[in-house]
Amino acid sequence: MSSFRQQMEDEAPKGFKLPPPARLRHYGLTAEQYRELWGDGFCPICLKPFGPGPRTACIDHDHRTWEVRGVLDTSCNYTLGYMHDNADWFQRAANYLLHPPTELWTPRPRLEDAPPRQGD
């Protein structure tokens, strides 16, 4: 006879694994809520499947309110933290990537065209 945890993992898409009970309690989540947030197993930001290493599923929370927002892969979760969960910074970062300050320069400087450094 399988446990509730094993049954939930068996019925979920491949790769689903419940966090330890203490971790779920820490965030105030039930196993069912975590399963719902995990969805089909893809990070909602980068759209890559959860997996081992940097794509491990993490419970993301708002660092001001401590409210759970969802499940992200490790890389995207860290990135939110590096940017202090600041949506304005992310919007400016996206705008920067779409329109870098050098976009109107012709030609645009390229790293591979840089002169060799002293000692290279």
* Residues in contact with Zn ion by the rule CB under 5 A: 43, 45-46, 73, 76
Nearer to Zn ion, 35 or 49 (CB): 49
Q: How far apart are CA 25 and CA 32, in angstroms?
A: 12
Q: How far is the CB of 12 from Zn ion (least distance, A)?
A: 19
List the one residue out of 53, 59, 54 whose CA is nearest residue 18.
59
Q: How far is the CB of 76 from Zn ion (least distance, A)?
A: 3
Nearer to Zn ion, 24 or 45 (CB): 45
